Chain A
Amino acid sequence: MSSMPSNRRFAKLLVAVLFIGCCAISLIVPIYNHVEPRLFGIPFFYWFQFLWIIVTGMATALAYWLKV
């Protein structure tokens, strides 16, 4: 591991943090189990999780782009 250049190690760490963070937040239900604040009349529970698909998708795309 020590032979790995430090920017590769940083990329791996960043992706690990993002992946674990994205998964953890979608599993900690109390974070988003609310009606308010609404967005275009849609309760928080729904628009937050919709948004979270996009965030997790972007984290995966970043991992691909960083070649992790």
Chain B
Amino acid sequence: MQPAAVAVFLGLFVLVTVIGFFAARWRRGPLNKLEEWGLGGRRFGTVVTWFLLGGDLYTAYTFVAVPALVYGKGAIGFFAVPYTLLIFPLVYVVFTRLWSVAHRHGYITAADFVRGRFGSNWMAALVAITGILATMPYIALQLVGIEVVVAALGFPTHGWIGDMPLIIAFVVLAAYTYTSGLRAPALIAVVKDTLIYVTVIAAIVIIPLHMGGFGNIFDKIPQKMLTLAGPSHGSLGAMSAYATLALGSALALFLYPHAVTGLLSARSRNTIKRNMALLPLYSLALALIAGLGFMAYAAHLEHIPAYAEYFRHYGAQFAVPALFMHNFPAWFVGFAFAAVAIGALVPSAIMSIAAANLFTRNLWPQLMRRKLGESEEAQVAKIVSLVVKIGALAFILFIPNQFAIQFQLLGGIWIIQTLPSVVLGLYGRWFHGRALIAGWIAGMAVGTWMAATQGFHTSIYPLALGSLTVPGYAALYSVIANLAVCVAATWLLDRFKIARGHDETQSGDYSFETANETGTEGAMTVTE
């Protein structure tokens, strides 16, 4: 154990804890209303939204798992780059409409919108259930990121003492999320991203210097890892997998509850547009982080005796921690590991808040058959956010990590099944509310079945089209099945003149902008 590394690590952890509790006083608002606790009062401007969305989407798990995939499998791990790149135009064009209609009608979740648009409480409940199911393993996986760096710092990892760091981190996280709501991760995200950017820039300068330049690093990577396997034996190979993973993941991302929460907390439609022009900075960082996987590979870190034990235990996920330990002085290792650990706390907080919002708004009233009052709503959400975090903690402590990874992989396939109701709902009401339910059931079944045929080890399904095999992301394939059922069922239901639900939105709602933004569109408001 390196005292300097541990001291810096713990110091930064204490700092964000203080910030987390202080956040309740920042831009003070009535925290006993769900809109205040769970959406920060919809008041976040460009800078805070940038940090919040960045902290939300580029999680610790991303920072550990993406380079781990590059380290283990090479080029395919780079799919995260086209994936995040597709997000900017997609959000700019499509999801600004969700912000507008949500702001107009006071929607807090995507399921609120589906209820308002299609008049279907059942479809709204399904959107909520899908969101909660997909979020739980995601929170659990953030903990894996903390686990790896805590172990690398030299803390014991076995028995109940080994579980203590995780339990302490999550209890503290749960406490300040409870008191401060979305304000806590929004403020902590500023610290987190500062740490991440400093770490990435240091890594990208120092490590290639140690290793004799980029050319030298890439020369040590086997040819077949550098690019994707091309078509052979009647199969499109890794290329179709790469493209469908990027597209499917991009379409799914803003259906995740935590992404919607980040989006809806923005002050104006323009704040989101501005952010889509600024968010590429995170993608550049992500591309560089993906490159760390190759650096770890070229350095043959798994053969160094001091790291061998960790690689046996954590596999490729230890690649980046080992790379840092091998190249940085102890105090900076503590700094970089704190970036990963805090990078896990921010999204965990947002995810648990988002899941709590869904439960409170879209499941509780449905189950209890009565609407909640304003302060009751906030109270239920706070408690649910605790339950969600305890659930995620139990998941990691009592169930092998492999299950969390497989469950998270299924989560991506499940969440995309809300695309017909949420995304296409933003553009029209061609689909019958009940047809959406039928489509959802079909998509869930097809997607889960596809993953099951692969033993839940990969979400790439080898689709056979005649004699041609097209390996592709099961989420994308299954949502196509979902859409086909939606079309067919809508046609049938309309033919039998089954009444459609009431639509409380109007076409103007989808381009709504707050009054103070419509006149001064070009002005950069950075008065946070």
Residues of chain A at the chain B interface (Cβ within 8 Å):
19, 22-23, 26-30, 33-35, 38, 40-43, 45-46, 49-50, 52-54, 56-57, 59-61, 63-65, 67
- Knowing A56-B280, A60-B277, the reply to whether A43 touches B218 (Cβ < 8 A) is yes
Interface of A is mostly: helix
By a CB distance below 8 angstroms, the chain A residues around B246 are 26-27
- B380 CB–A CB distance under 8 Å: no
Q: Are B214 and A42 in contact (CB under 8 A)?
A: yes
Chain A residues with CB under 8 A of B215: 38, 40-42
Interface set, chain B 36-72, CB cutoff 8 A to A: none
Which of A27, A41, A43, A59 is within 8 Å of B82, CB to CB? A27
CB distance from B367 to the nearest CB of A (A): 41
Q: Nearest chain-B residue to A40 (Cβ)?
A: B214
23 example contacts (A-B, Cβ-Cβ < 8 A) are as follows: A19-B92, A22-B85, A22-B89, A26-B86, A29-B243, A33-B228, A34-B227, A35-B223, A40-B213, A41-B218, A43-B227, A45-B226, A45-B228, A49-B287, A50-B81, A53-B81, A53-B284, A54-B280, A54-B284, A60-B89, A64-B276, A65-B522, A67-B522
- Bound-state Cα–Cα, A41 to B219, Å: 8
Chain A nearest CB from B526 CB (Å) reads: 15
User: Shortest beta-carbon distance, B421 to chain A, in Å?
Assistant: 23
The reply to whether the CB of B230 lies closer than 8 angstroms to some CB of chain A is yes
Q: A19-B92, A28-B243, A45-B78 are in contact. List 11 more A-B contacts (CB 8 A).
A: A19-B93, A29-B228, A29-B242, A45-B227, A52-B81, A53-B81, A53-B85, A53-B284, A54-B280, A57-B283, A60-B280
Q: CA separation between A60 and B481, bound complex, in Å?
A: 32
List of B residues within 8 angstroms of A33 by Cβ: 75, 227-228, 230, 239
Within 8 A of A (CB), among B217-235: 217-219, 223, 226-228, 230
Q: B403 at interface (Cβ–Cβ under 8 A)?
A: no
A60 and B88 within 8 A (CB) = yes
Contact between chains at A53 and B227 (CB < 8 Å): no
**In the complex, what distance in Å separates the CA atom of A67 from the CA atom of B511?**
13
How far does the alpha carbon of A66 sit from the alpha carbon of B53 in the complex, in Å?
A: 24
Interface members, chain B 447-506 (any A CB < 8 Å): none
Point out the residue from B216, B228, B242, B281 that lies within 8 Å of A41, measured CB to CB: B216
Interface size on B, residues (CB 8 A): 42
A44 to chain B, nearest CB (A): 9
- Per the bound structure, the CA–CA distance linking A4 and B223 in Å amounts to 54
B521, CB-defined interface residue at 8 Å: yes
Inter-chain CA distance A19–B173, complex, in Å, is: 39
Chain B residues within 8 Å of A40, by CB: 213-215
- Structural contact, A43 and B226, CB atoms closer than 8 A: yes
Taking a contact as CB atoms closer than 8 A, the residue among B247, B277, B287 that contacts A53 in the complex is B287
Inter-chain contacts of B92 with A (CB < 8 A): 19, 60, 63
Say if the beta carbon of B273 comes within 8 Å of chain A.
Answer: yes
The answer to whether A19 and B89 touch (CB under 8 A), given A43-B226, A49-B81, is yes
Within 8 A of A (CB), among B172-229: 213-219, 223, 226-228
Query: Is B291 engaged at the interface, CB distance under 8 Å to the other chain?
Result: yes
Q: How far is the CB of A67 from chain B (nearest CB, A)?
A: 5
> How far, in whole Å, are A13 and B228 apart by their CA atoms in the complex?
34
Closest 7 CB pairs of A and B: A41-B215, A57-B280, A61-B277, A19-B89, A26-B82, A29-B239, A60-B277
